[in-house]
Amino acid sequence: ISILCGKKKPRKDPKLEAFMEKFGHLAPTSYSYSEVEKMTFSFNHKIGQGGYGGVYKGKLDNGRLEAVKVLNSSKGNGKEFLSEVISIGCTYHVNIVSLLGFCLDGSTRILIYEFMANGSLEKFIYTKKQTIPSLEWEKLLEIATGIARGLEYLHHGCNIGILHFDIKPHNILLDEDFHPKISDFGLAKLCRSAESIISMVKARGTVGYIAPEVFLKNFGGVSSKSDVYSYGMVVLEMVGGRRNVEVQAGNTSEIYFPHWIYKNLNLDGKLKTFRAMTKVEEVIARRMILVGLWCIQSKPIDRPSMSKVLDMLEGRIIDLQIPPMPVLSSPSRSAKHSQTNDSHEIVSVTTTC
């Protein structure tokens, strides 16, 4: 992507031009920086901040609210920007956040999304604040099912397979009715088929959600099953109500999060409750735990597809068996503390076997 020089019109990336030409009026709208500045009232209302940059609330001329994501100028040569525009720009699904437009003005890169009133999922599953309501088990199951539908669409419903590679609660947005939508496609990769094994020069993702095969090649090839692993971790966090890299047993030792979850299942399959719940809620929580544990199996071949995950969540597979105990242990405490929530760096992970 070239930088604006003088008053010359900036050259667009050939891939972006080809994408815009292919999808025509269906492609997201290209805005100038001055237009974005106007719709955000000079970037007056900031609603979020991450390693990528800031997010601002804005409004289109038709009155529709939007979230404006301004990427840091340090984002290299703009590969993540291109990835996000091209991958999400051709998706149309109720559980995928809509990209309304973008701005490529010199070195400035801005993404314009539909506004999601309730923000990200992490706000509702980690917090203990009285001002933020805890979600009922039925709603948690609906959210888990919606995320699964969105991923199943990315893997199999598009004209070309899309692997997200950064599924985590921070990237699951909730609308005013708490319907989930997958967002942030900066690390996504396109592939001919979601079942295809893809090559990766460098591992990608966020600590705690990265599938073993992404950084340890002896576990298998990288494919859609890598997203399945990340999804499983998100589901387990929804049940446990805490981050998977922060579970501790006392002040001096650690328990790998899935092991902590696993220990709450008795040998007879009954759930040791995390909080007070009815019989119906216990059934929901148990189902979500079993689905999550199956999704985080160490070998990709042992994980279900997202289609099968939906069958498991929606009750078409009634007798869910308890999967084997996960074998990976947690990253070291020092490594975890060196990471931020939005980091895409990889830390070393050891195995228990």
The amino acid sitting at 32 is: S
Q: What is the DSSP letter of 121?
A: T
Strands, E assignment, the chain: 29-30, 46-50, 53-59, 65-71, 99-105, 108-114, 161-163, 172-174, 180-182, 189-191, 248-249, 253-254
Q: Residue 43 contacts by C-beta under 8 Å, 6 or more apart in sequence?
A: 37, 54, 56, 68, 70
Judged by DSSP in three states, 4 sits in coil
Q: What is the DSSP letter of 194?
A: T
Cβ pair 137, 281 in contact under 8 A? yes
Give the Cα-Cα-Cα angle 52, 55, 59 (nearest 5 degrees): 145
Burial class (CB in 10 A: 0-12, 13-18, 19+), 64: exposed
Burial class (CB in 10 A: 0-12, 13-18, 19+), 144: buried
Judged by DSSP in three states, 171 sits in helix
- Residue 27 exposure: Cα atoms within 13 Å on the Cβ side: 16
Q: How far is CA 38 from CA 32, 35, 85, 162, in A?
A: 10, 5, 22, 33
Instruction: Tell me if residue 311 is catalytic.
Output: no
> 79 is written with which tokens?
């590969």
Judged by DSSP in three states, 307 sits in helix
First to last CA, the chain: 46
Catalytic residue (one of 13, 105, 166, 311): 166
Cβ pair 58, 128 in contact under 8 A? no
* Catalytic residue ranges: 166
